[in-house]
Amino acid sequence: MNDLTDDISKNLTAVKNKIAAAAASVSRNPETVSLVAVSKVFGADRIRPAIDAGQRLFGENRVQEAEEKWPALREVCPETVLHLIGPLQRNKVKKAVQLFDVIETVDRERLARALADEMGQAGKSVGCFIQVNTGAEPQKAGILPPDADDFIKLCRDTYDLPLRGLMCIPPIDEEPSLHFALLAKIAERNGLKGLSMGMSSDFETAIAFGATHVRVGTAVFGPRPKPVP
């Protein structure tokens, strides 16, 4: 076992222990919280050790990057499950439906329609989360909170998307718990069970507010290299 393999395996254990403790502290069954290991930017040299350590659920934020990395990794381990956690352009919908098992970033009608059409054509059902822009940040994707109920209804009734739940990325400079609570409230009143919220810095808080999926990158794989300008 080399050092990197050892580190990633230890990181995974540490994160899982924290998930279990956070769940227990609010009397939740730890098995109701799934760890989405966010492997964006990293290559097979880091993803393989995570797979070898038993991790099966991964998140990527770009379709093209996933297309370059994951077909080979899936051959190694066909049981891996891949979530798209970054914005999706309509011209990438076909690829996204091929590559991913779950799309967490459905946030507008034209995308919902394109996904419904593509799933129909491909004969493949891909689970969907609706991304909510809980902080109403102009640069961020996601449906605005006041529009969420109508959009959920549309995705359900008009497009018949296999809705799993809601996803959010709170503003970096605000207390995340307010955003987690808001997302949980919108999900509850719409009868949605899944809540994808919480990252390396705040996944334990997210679990206290009901997260069913935490998206953790840095705490599993280490710091990401800064993109070269």
Ligand X SMILES: *Cc1c(COP(=O)(O)O)cnc(C)c1O
- Which residues of this chain interact with ligand X, rule CB under 6 A? 38, 40, 61, 85-86, 169, 199-201, 215-219
- In degrees and rounded to multiples of 5, residue 113 shows phi and psi of -65, -45
In the complex, the smallest distance separating the C-beta of residue 102 from ligand X, rounded to whole angstroms, is: 13
Could you give the 3-state DSSP secondary structure of residue 163? strand
- In degrees and rounded to multiples of 5, residue 12 shows phi and psi of -60, -45
Give the residue with the Cβ less far from ligand X, 106 or 169.
169
Give the residue with the Cβ less far from ligand X, 30 or 222.
222
H or E element that contains 153:
helix 145-153
In the complex, the smallest distance separating the C-beta of residue 82 from ligand X, rounded to whole angstroms, is: 14
In the complex, the smallest distance separating the C-beta of residue 16 from ligand X, rounded to whole angstroms, is: 14
d(CA 62, CA 40): 8
Give the residue with the Cβ less far from ligand X, 40 or 56.
40
Q: Tokens 């034209």 sit at which residue?
A: 110
Give the residue with the Cβ less far from ligand X, 117 or 137.
137
In the complex, the smallest distance separating the C-beta of residue 87 from ligand X, rounded to whole angstroms, is: 9
H or E element that contains 164:
strand 163-167
Could you give the 3-state DSSP secondary structure of residue 132? strand
In the complex, the smallest distance separating the C-beta of residue 27 from ligand X, rounded to whole angstroms, is: 25
Give the residue with the Cβ less far from ligand X, 40 or 92.
40
Identify the burial level of 31 via C-beta atoms within 10 angstroms of its C-beta, where 0-12 means exposed, 13-18 middle and 19 or more buried. exposed
H or E element that contains 196:
strand 194-196
